[in-house]
C-alpha cells in the first residue's frame, strides 16, 4: 500500500505533516456524497468552504426523514406529526445551545443566516438604543453584512459609525483601541475570524475594552463556529451570530445568540404568527423567548438538518477539527509561498483559508483555469470590499479548507496555479 504522505506529494516537498490523520480524513470523506463527483473528467477538489461547506449523509438523511415521515408545521398542532416535528425542531435548538455553550436554549434565535442575525440586532436593539451622540465601532475587515446594516441605521438615526483600522499584515490595529472606544460607544461589532485574511481576532481583549465603557458587543462567528470550539459564555459577548450552511448544515438558516436580559428587553422585529401570545384588534402581546423573534412558519427541515450537523461535528470533536485545519493551512501556506509571483494576503498565523493574488492575473481568470481541473476556489472581494481597498488590491482568489480536505488537494491547487501562471505568461 502506498504511504499516505508519499501519495500526497509531501515527500516530494520535504514537508512532514504528522498532525494530519489522513486515514481518518479518508474515511470521513466517504460521508460526503458530493466529494465523489467529477467535474468534467476531473475529480472535484472543493476548496470553497468559507463560502459554504458540503453536507454529510447524516444531514441529508435527517432532512429527508422529516419530509418523508413527519412533515408538519410546528408548535400549534396537537396531532402526532406536528408533535414529532415540534420535538425535533426544539431538540435542534437545544443541540445548538450546547454546541456553543449557551446558558439556555431560549437564547438561541433561529434566523435565515448570519446576515439576518446582524440585521435583527440592528433593527431591534439598535433602534431602541442608538441615536445622535452615540457611536458604533466596527472594523476594516468586516464582511458587508456587518457594515451595511449599521450604515443604513446610522443614516436613519444619526449616530456615528467608526472602525478599527488594519495593520499592513492584515491584523486589527489595537494600539488605537483606547481612543476608538469612548464613553459614547454603545456597541462594538466585529468578526471573530476574517473571511479574507484569516485573522483570528482577540475577542476577549476587545470585549474587556468595551465593558470598560459599558458598551455591548456583537461578534460575527460565521467563520469560527464551524472550525473551532466556541464558548459564548467564556467570550462574554452580548450577541453572537453564525450560519448553518458553513458548518455542514443546510442553507437558509442561521443562529443569533443573545444575553437573556437584552433579548427580553428588545422589541420584536417582524410580526406574524408564532411570535405573539395574544392578538386583539386593539393590540397584541408578544410571545416569550425565543419565539418573539421567529415570526411565521420556521425553517423546520433546515433546523433539523442543523441539529444533525451539530451531532456530526460534535462526533468528530471540534478540537480535532481545528487541529487538522491548522496543520493543513500551514502546509498550504508553505506550498503556495513557493509559487513565483504569488502573494498571500494576511498574517502567517491564520484560520483555515488563504487568499492570494498571482502576478497580474485577475482572480476570476484564475478561478476559471482551476475549474477546468475540477478545483473550486472563490474569486472576487468575498463581500469584504473595504479590506481589499485597505490592502490596495481589487480582488483575490481564496482557497478555504475544511476537515475533509487533504494535502493531495493542496498539491493539485498549487499545480493548477503554476499552470495558470504559464498560460497567462504566454
98 assigned to some structural domain? yes
By 3-state DSSP, what share of the chain in percent is helix, strand and coil, each rounded to 5?
45, 20, 40
Residues 273 and 420 in one domain: no
266 assigned to some structural domain? yes
Residues 73 and 213 in one domain: yes
**62 pLDDT tier (thresholds 50, 70, 90):** very high
298 assigned to some structural domain? yes
46 assigned to some structural domain? no
240 assigned to some structural domain? yes
Residues 340 and 264 in one domain: no
| Rounded (5°) CA angle 396-190-305 | 80
Cα–Cα dist 31/316, whole Å: 12
Residues 26 and 131 in one domain: no
Residues 323 and 390 in one domain: yes
Active site residue 383: yes
256 assigned to some structural domain? yes
Residues 311 and 416 in one domain: no
Residues 263 and 330 in one domain: no
Q: Taking a C-beta distance cutoff of 8 angstroms, is the pair 257, 278 a contact?
A: no
**15 pLDDT tier (thresholds 50, 70, 90):** low
DSSP 126: I
Q: Provide the pLDDT for residue 16.
A: 60
Average pLDDT over residues 27-37: 98
Rounded to the nearest integer, the mean pLDDT of the chain is: 95
Tens digit of each residue's pLDDT (9 = 90 or more) over 252-297: 999 999 999 999 999 999 999 999 999 999 999 999 999 999 999 9
15, 43, 383, 393: which is the annotated catalytic residue? 383
Q: Provide the pLDDT for residue 291.
A: 97
Residues 173 and 294 in one domain: yes
- Tell whether the model's pLDDT for residue 217 goes beyond 70: yes
Q: Provide the pLDDT for residue 6.
A: 37
Assign residue 359 the CATH number of its domain. Answer: 3.90.1150.10
C-alpha cell at 360: 497580474
Kindly list the distances between the CA atom of residue 340 and the CA atoms of 15, 80, 280, 344, in Å, as whole numbers in the listed order. Answer: 19, 64, 70, 11
24 assigned to some structural domain? yes
Q: Grid cell 480524513 — which residue?
A: 25
Tens digit of each residue's pLDDT (9 = 90 or more) over 321-366: 999 999 999 999 999 999 999 999 999 999 999 999 999 999 999 9
Residues 340 and 405 in one domain: yes
- Residue 144, judged by CB atoms within 10 A of its CB (0-12, 13-18, 19+), counts as middle
The total number of structural domains in the chain stands at: 2
- Tell whether the model's pLDDT for residue 13 goes beyond 70: no
Cα–Cα dist 411/232, whole Å: 36
Cα–Cα dist 323/314, whole Å: 14
Residues 8 and 128 in one domain: no
- Tell whether the model's pLDDT for residue 2 goes beyond 70: no
State which residues form the domain around 121.
Answer: 59-315
Residues 327 and 406 in one domain: yes
Cα–Cα dist 2/15, whole Å: 17
Kindly list the distances between the CA atom of residue 341 and the CA atoms of 178, 245, 418, in Å, as whole numbers in the listed order. Answer: 39, 34, 10
Residues 278 and 362 in one domain: no
Average pLDDT over residues 38-43: 96
Tens digit of each residue's pLDDT (9 = 90 or more) over 66-121: 999 999 999 988 999 999 999 999 999 999 999 999 999 999 999 999 999 999 99
Where among 315, 347, 374 does a domain terminate? 315
Assign residue 92 the CATH number of its domain. Answer: 3.40.640.10
Amino acid at each position: 500500500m502506498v504511504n499516505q504522505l508519499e501519495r500526497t506529494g509531501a515527500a516530494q516537498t520535504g514537508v512532514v505533516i504528522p498532525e494530519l490523520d489522513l486515514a481518518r480524513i479518508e474515511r470521513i470523506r466517504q460521508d460526503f456524497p458530493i466529494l465523489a463527483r467529477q467535474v468534467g473528467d476531473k475529480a472535484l477538489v472543493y476548496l470553497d468552504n468559507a463560502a459554504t461547506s458540503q453536507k454529510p449523509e447524516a444531514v441529508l438523511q435527517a432532512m429527508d426523514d422529516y419530509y418523508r415521515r413527519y412533515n408538519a408545521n410546528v408548535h400549534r398542532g396537537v396531532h402526532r406529526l406536528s408533535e414529532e416535528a415540534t420535538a425535533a425542531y426544539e431538540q435542534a435548538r437545544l443541540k445548538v445551545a450546547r454546541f456553543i455553550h449557551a446558558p439556555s436554549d431560549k437564547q438561541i434565535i433561529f434566523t435565515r443566516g448570519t446576515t439576518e442575525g446582524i440585521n435583527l440586532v440592528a433593527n431591534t436593539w439598535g433602534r431602541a438604543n442608538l441615536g445622535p451622540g452615540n457611536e458604533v465601532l466596527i472594523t476594516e475587515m468586516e464582511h458587508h453584512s456587518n457594515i451595511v446594516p449599521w450604515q443604513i441605521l446610522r443614516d436613519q438615526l444619526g449616530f456615528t459609525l467608526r472602525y478599527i483600522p488594519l495593520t499592513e499584515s492584515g491584523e486589527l490595529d489595537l494600539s488605537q483601541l483606547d481612543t476608538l472606544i469612548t464613553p459614547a460607544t454603545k456597541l462594538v461589532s466585529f468578526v471573530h475570524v476574517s473571511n479574507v485574511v484569516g485573522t483570528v481576532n482577540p475577542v476577549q481583549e476587545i470585549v474587556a475594552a468595551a465593558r470598560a465603557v459599558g458598551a455591548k458587543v456583537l461578534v460575527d462567528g460565521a467563520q469560527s463556529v464551524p472550525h473551532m470550539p466556541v464558548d459564548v459564555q467564556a467570550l462574554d459577548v452580548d450577541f453572537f451570530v453564525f450560519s448553518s450552511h458553513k458548518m455542514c448544515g443546510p442553507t437558509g438558516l442561521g443562529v443569533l445568540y443573545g444575553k437573556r436580559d437584552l433579548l427580553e428587553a428588545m422589541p420584536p422585529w417582524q410580526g406574524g404568527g408564532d411570535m405573539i401570545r395574544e392578538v386583539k384588534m386593539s393590540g397584541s402581546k408578544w410571545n416569550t423567548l425565543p419565539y418573539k423573534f421567529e415570526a411565521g412558519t420556521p425553517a423546520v427541515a433546515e433546523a433539523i438538518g442543523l441539529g444533525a450537523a451539530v451531532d456530526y461535528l460534535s462526533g468528530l470533536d471540534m478540537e480535532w477539527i481545528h487541529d487538522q485545519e491548522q496543520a493543513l493551512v500551514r502546509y498550504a501556506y508553505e506550498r503556495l509561498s513557493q509559487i513565483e509571483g504569488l502573494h498571500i494576503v494576511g498574517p502567517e498565523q491564520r484560520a483555515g483559508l488563504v487568499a492570494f493574488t498571482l502576478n497580474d492575473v485577475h482572480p476570476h481568470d484564475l478561478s476559471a483555469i482551476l475549474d477546468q481541473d475540477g478545483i473550486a476556489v472563490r474569486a472576487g472581494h468575498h463581500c469584504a470590499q473595504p479590506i481589499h481597498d485597505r490592502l490596495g488590491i481589487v480582488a483575490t482568489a481564496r482557497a478555504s479548507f475544511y476537515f475533509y480536505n487533504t494535502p493531495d488537494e493542496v498539491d493539485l491547487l498549487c499545480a493548477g496555479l503554476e499552470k495558470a501562471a504559464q498560460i497567462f505568461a504566454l
